[in-house]
């Protein structure tokens, strides 16, 4: 069974940093691209970042470019999102999602909440 | 960036009714490799989204065949032929043809 489990969220002050993790199981992690997608409270979905299976291709949304870094450790089956210079508008539930062969998001974690507030 | 405009934002339906949701893109989603990376997701209350349809019209495994997708280029439609109670939630279209990937604003399906 495919499972994605996020962790690392919490309450953080504006301007500070936080690192999210997503541990994958039930599939060969190194074969799939992965994404971070977020959802602000009561709002829609916003794609944040993508990393290809071998980390060769990395894309970011403009709203986080230069502040967030996506990475992965295929030996540990883990996806990361390093978030710096956090702003109140980064407050959201952050999901990791697997990217299937045809670029669809076929499996999602339950999400981890990040709250940026003083 | 590609902008996806979903309409309507809210849809009220009775059980058994057929409904359609539109997703219009600001540019063609046809990739140079011939694929159109337009997908549909459903997010039930309190749950992560789930994949319904990919590549415009291909039904994800396990998804009931009352769901269907159609369209090409910039105009796409999700149809539910006979709404059931478990179909309630927010529907999103999402494109992954052009980076950055982008989502539509969502369509909330509720019971009339």
- What is the reported pLDDT for A20? 98
SS (H, E, C) A25-90: ECCCHHHCEEEEEEECCCCCEEEEEEECCCCCCEEECCCCCCCEEEEEECCCCEEEEEECCCCHHH
Q: Considering chain A, what percentage of its residues have pLDDT values greater than 90?
A: 97
Q: Name which of B35, B41, B49 is nearest A102 (Cβ-Cβ).
A: B35
Q: Which two tokens stand for residue B43?
A: 């997010």
Residue A21 pLDDT > 90? yes
Residue B85 pLDDT > 90? yes
Q: How far is B94 from chain A (nearest CA, A)?
A: 9
Does the beta-carbon distance from B48 to A99 stay under 8 Å? no
Residue B112 pLDDT > 90? no
Does the beta-carbon distance from A103 to B37 stay under 8 Å? yes
Mean pLDDT of B31-55: 97
Q: Angle at CA A53, nearest 5°, toward B47 and B48? A: 5
- What is the reported pLDDT for A101? 87
Does the beta-carbon distance from A102 to B55 stay under 8 Å? yes
Mean pLDDT of B35-56: 97
Minimal Cα distance from B54: which residue of A? Answer: A104
- What is the reported pLDDT for B74? 98
Distance of CA B43 to the CA centre of its chain: 11
């Amino acid at each position: 069974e495919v499972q994605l489990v996020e962790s690392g969220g919490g309450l953080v002050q504006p301007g500070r940093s936080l690192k999210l993790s997503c541990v994958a199981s039930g599939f060969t992690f190194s074969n799939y691209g992965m994404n971070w997608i977020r959802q602000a409270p009561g709002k829609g979905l916003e794609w944040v970042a993508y990393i290809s299976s071998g980390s060769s291709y990395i894309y970011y949304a403009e709203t986080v470019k230069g502040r967030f870094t996506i990475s992965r450790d295929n030996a540990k089956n883990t996806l990361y999102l390093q978030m710096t210079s956090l702003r109140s508008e980064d407050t959201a539930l952050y999901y990791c999602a697997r990217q299937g062969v045809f670029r669809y998001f076929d499996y999602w974690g339950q999400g981890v909440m990040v709250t940026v507030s003083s | 960036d590609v902008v996806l405009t979903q309409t309507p934002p809210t849809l009220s339906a009775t059980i058994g009714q057929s409904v359609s949701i539109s997703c219009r893109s600001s540019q063609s989603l046809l990739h140079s490799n011939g694929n159109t990376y337009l997908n549909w997701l459903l997010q039930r209350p309190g749950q992560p989204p789930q994949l319904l349809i990919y590549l415009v019209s291909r039904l994800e495994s396990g998804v009931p065949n009352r769901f269907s997708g159609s369209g090409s280029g910039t105009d796409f439609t999700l149809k539910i032929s006979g709404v059931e109670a478990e179909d309630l939630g927010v529907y999103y279209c999402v494109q992954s043809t052009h980076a950055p990937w982008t989502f539509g604003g969502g369509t909330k399906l509720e019971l009339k």
